Structure 1
Amino acid sequence: MSTPHETTTSRGHAWMMLMLAGAFEIGYALSVGGSHAFTVPSWSAAALIFFLLTLYFLSAALRTIDIGIGYAVWAGTGSVGAAILGSILLDQPLTPIQAVWLAVIIAGVVWLKLADSVRLQRQGR
């Protein structure tokens, strides 16, 4: 049986893995865009690497974090990051209303994390 410190540490580690999975998902999305339907070899190779990394880190995180919460956070992180970096790096348009809705996604991700922490505290973990 694990101690409360071990449980907290492993959950913290799982959330770090989930954030890395989100970062790699952003890299994957941007690389797929740069690959032009996988016709540019360097971008296609980058997309493959980011894809494998995001799947690895997501699956590692989901060993501890509930799949519904983990997947929502991963997808939200990847979506927001790809939209923001696509705007900055690829000169893709990002309208004020799109920015507002991206902020709503960010708020949702934060609330999911907070709700997970509260649930664990109520369970005594």
Structure 2
Amino acid sequence: MYLSIAVIFEIAVAISASHAQGFTKLWWTVATLASGAIATFFLSLALLTFDVGVGYAIWVAVSGVGIVILGALFLNQTLTWNKFGGIALVVGGVTGLQLSGAA
């Protein structure tokens, strides 16, 4: 649950940062920093139940995939077959990490 919340706020960081235009837009900058703080807080709670390497890898990977997909859906960014392949590799890698941490 905590990791899911951390992922949502990490995605919000990326979207806010893209609108902050190098921190020149005040409210987007505030949104970026606040989202980052919340994401980090919930990640720290999630890491109480995950190995730090596995938890962090899952957080980064799921957030990255979410950002790519939302960028394609809402920010007019192109979703190519190469990006789909990259997403598949990320998901496979994180799945492997999670399975190795469960033993």
TM-score, normalised with respect to structure 1:
0.75
Unaligned runs of 5+ residues in structure 2 are: none
- Which is further off, 53-62 or 101-110? 101-110
Cα deviation for residue 98 of structure 1 reads 1.1
Where does residue 67 of structure 1 map in the other structure? 52
**Are 1:109 and 2:70 matched, yes or no?**
no
**Are 1:46 and 2:35 matched, yes or no?**
no
Aligned length: 103
CA distance in 2, matches of 1:110, 1:80: 14
CA distance in 2, matches of 1:75, 1:105: 10
Amino acid of the structure 2 residue aligned with 1:76: A
CA distance in 1, matches of 2:88, 2:20: 28
**Are 1:93 and 2:78 matched, yes or no?**
yes
- Which is further off, 104-113 or 36-45? 104-113
CA distance in 2, matches of 1:58, 1:73: 10
Cα deviation for residue 107 of structure 1 reads 2.5
Return structure 1 stretches of 4+ with deviation > 2 angstroms.
107-117
When Rg is computed on C-alpha atoms for both structures, the one with the higher figure is: 1
Conservation of the 8 A alpha-carbon contact between 1:23 and 1:77: no
Unaligned runs of 5+ residues in structure 1 are: 1-15, 120-125
TM-score, normalised with respect to structure 2:
0.89
Conservation of the 8 A alpha-carbon contact between 1:26 and 1:81: yes
- Pick one of 13, 17, 20 that aligns with 2:5: 20
Amino acid of the structure 1 residue aligned with 2:82: I
Sequence identity, in percent?
Answer: 38
